[in-house]
Structure formats: structure tokens, C-alpha cells
């Protein structure tokens, strides 16, 4: 059974508020007598439907599109080597304290969760895709990583108790939901006071070139995938290129956002702004170091300039916002 079998009293049903407990005989979680949650491949299925069609559509999409995949990643060492090449992932690993409880909401195939599992951190990875979670569980089990706990869960019906996590990470997820702000608000609810929330979203202007490519591919077909610079890189395998193509150009739904908009989210949810990537990024400074939030005309110009940013064009127009719960 999953390595979650001793994790009682941290899960609660979001609607009834009753505790979700583990039955040692059935090897399943339950919240009322004889009302059990299923397991699949030793992963607890704590998914509670929010009755929104898009949630189901995205679940099916990522069952087929397992992103990112484990091509050329055989063990934890090779995963660490890969992740360490990402400045963002490397800085997270350097700055997140030993022993922190971390939630990765929308963990996909679990690569970030598994990478951050070093230094005795307690990692909870949730996703709505069974296929992606199975890939994560295979790697976790193969590499004997016992402090990463995987569950299928709905970001709109989180089953964790309130104020539980030191860090909440949701990278490239909220913009694929039917209500990004509500999903963000739910994540804040399970974050401790003074805990950090890290969200990665598509940027309104940074996504501009990708949006043009999407239209070209829609009208002229997949032959237009060559317009994405990633497909010209010989060191990226065809399998990884195709997974990227599906995620970027065939996803059923996406929204785009701005720095200014997310500052309003932070204000509504009592989150103190800490920093943003790439807006406040300095390679030689910690990403958890407090920066002054930008505003006004200067911010507007900076946001619109992302249309012409080469790094944004290459990475699909992505930006990250970091805040602390007051």
C-alpha cells in the first residue's frame, strides 16, 4: 500500500468537514463508515468532483499527455542533474528549509516533488491525472523515496486540513483551470501563517507569440510546429518535443494573466508580495528575498515588453509570483 497509510488526521472532507482516516484492514481511506476512497497503483484517490466539465476534460488530457516525461531520467541522480540545470528549481532547493512541509498542487509526473524530497522535507504531490501520478509513483518506488506522498485530488476540493503547509507550489496549473483565482484561494487556505506560496502562470503579453503559433497550427495543422524554437534543438528528444507540443498547442483550455492582476489576488487573500520571476529576478539574490512590488506606468511598460522577450518566447510566456501569508 501507499506510503500514506500512517498519515491520519491531516485529511478532511472539504464539504462535510469530517476527518478522512485510513482503514488498516481495507487499506483505504474513508470519511464515514463504509464510505471508502479507492486506490489505483497504490495511490489514494481522494478526488472529489467539483461538477465542472473542464476539470474532467483536463484530467483526461493529462492522462494521455504525461508532462514532463522521464525520457533519459533513470534514477534520482539523473533527476537531480536535470533539475539543477533549472535556475528556478535549484534556487528552490537551496532556499527551502530542511524539514518543511510542502504541497505541490498539480505535480504532474512528480519531478519537482521528487527533486525537492532531499533534506528531510515532507512533500505532498497532488494531481487530477491518474496517468501522470502513476509515472510519479513508479519513480518514487523505484528510487525508494519515502517522504513524498502522492494523491489524486481536486484543487477545488482540497482534502488537507487548513494552515498545514510551510510552502505551496503550483507551477503551470492554475491557468488550465476553470477558475484560477478560486484555485489560488483554496491553496492559500492550506498554507500556514508566514508560509510561502509560489505560483507559475502564463503571462498575457509573454504568451503573445505562442498564441500566434497556436492559431497557425489550428489553421494549417501540425506541420507548423517548426515555428516553435524548441523543435530546432537537437539535444531535446522527439518524445519530449512532442509532449511539449501537446501541452503548449493542444491543451483544451488556458488563461493568461499579468503581474498586476496577481498582486490583486495577493491583496484579496492577505498575501504579502515577496518577488517575481522574471520581473524582479537577480541571479545573485535569493528568490525568497523581499522585493518592492512594482506598479504604475513603469510596470505596464515592463509587462508589455514581454511580447519581445526572447526568454518568454522560448518558454511559452511563463512568469512566477511568490508571496507570504500574513
pLDDT at 2: 54
User: pTM of the prediction?
Assistant: 0.94
Q: Express each pLDDT in 43-94 by its tens digit.
A: 999 999 999 999 999 999 998 888 777 877 889 999 999 888 899 999 999 9
Between 8-12, 145-149, 273-277, 319-323, the lowest mean confidence (pLDDT) is in 8-12
Q: Express each pLDDT in 10-46 by its tens digit.
A: 899 998 888 998 888 888 899 887 789 999 998 999 9
**248 with 218: CB under 8 angstroms?**
no
pLDDT at 24: 83
Specify the domain boundaries for CATH 3.40.50.150 within the chain: 41-207+251-325
Confidence of residue 239 (pLDDT cuts 50, 70, 90): confident
Instruction: In whole angstroms, give the CA distance from residue 228 to residue 244.
Output: 10
- Domain 41-207+251-325 sits in CATH at 3.40.50.150
Cα→Cα distances 246→55, 65, 209, 252, 284, Å: 18, 7, 17, 10, 34
pLDDT at 66: 81
Nine-digit cell string for 186: 483554496
**46 with 152: CB under 8 angstroms?**
yes
Amino acid at each position: 500500500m501507499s506510503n500514506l497509510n500512517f498519515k491520519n488526521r491531516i485529511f478532511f472532507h472539504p464539504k462535510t468537514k469530517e476527518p478522512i482516516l485510513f482503514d488498516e484492514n481495507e487499506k483505504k481511506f474513508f470519511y464515514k463508515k463504509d464510505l471508502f476512497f479507492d486506490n489505483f497503483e497504490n495511490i489514494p484517490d481522494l478526488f472529489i468532483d467539483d461538477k465542472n466539465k473542464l476539470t474532467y476534460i483536463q484530467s483526461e488530457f493529462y492522462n494521455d499527455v504525461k508532462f514532463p516525461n522521464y525520457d533519459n531520467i533513470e534514477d534520482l541522480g539523473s533527476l537531480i542533474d536535470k533539475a539543477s540545470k533549472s535556475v528556478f528549481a535549484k534556487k528552490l532547493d537551496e532556499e527551502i528549509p530542511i524539514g518543511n512541509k510542502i504541497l505541490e498542487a498539480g505535480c504532474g509526473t512528480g519531478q519537482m516533488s521528487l527533486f525537492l524530497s532531499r533534506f528531510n522535507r515532507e512533500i505532498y504531490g497532488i494531481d487530477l491525472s491518474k496517468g501522470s501520478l502513476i509515472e510519479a509513483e513508479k519513480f518514487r518506488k523505484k528510487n525508494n523515496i519515502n517522504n513524498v506522498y502522492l494523491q489524486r485530488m481536486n484543487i477545488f476540493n482540497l482534502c488537507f486540513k487548513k494552515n498545514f503547509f510551510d510552502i505551496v507550489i503550483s507551477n503551470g496549473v492554475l491557468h488550465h483551470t476553470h477558475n484560477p483565482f478560486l484555485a489560488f484561494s483554496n491553496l492559500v487556505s492550506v498554507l500556514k501563517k508566514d508560509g510561502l506560496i509560489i505560483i507559475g502562470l502564463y503571462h498575457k503579453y509573454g504568451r503573445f507569440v505562442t498564441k500566434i503559433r497556436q492559431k497557425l497550427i489550428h489553421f494549417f495543422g501540425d506541420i507548423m510546429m517548426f515555428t516553435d524554437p524548441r523543435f530546432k534543438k537537437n539535444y531535446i528528444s522527439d518524445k519530449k518535443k512532442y509532449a511539449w507540443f501537446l501541452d503548449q498547442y493542444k491543451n483544451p483550455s488556458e488563461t493568461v494573466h499579468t503581474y498586476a492582476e496577481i498582486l490583486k489576488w495577493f491583496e484579496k487573500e492577505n498575501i504579502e508580495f515577496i518577488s517575481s520571476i522574471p520581473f524582479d529576478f537577480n541571479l545573485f539574490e535569493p528568490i525568497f528575498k523581499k522585493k518592492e512590488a512594482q506598479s504604475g506606468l513603469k510596470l505596464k511598460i515592463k509587462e508589455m515588453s514581454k511580447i519581445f522577450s526572447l526568454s518568454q518566447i522560448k518558454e511559452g510566456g511563463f512568469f512566477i509570483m511568490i508571496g507570504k501569508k500574513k
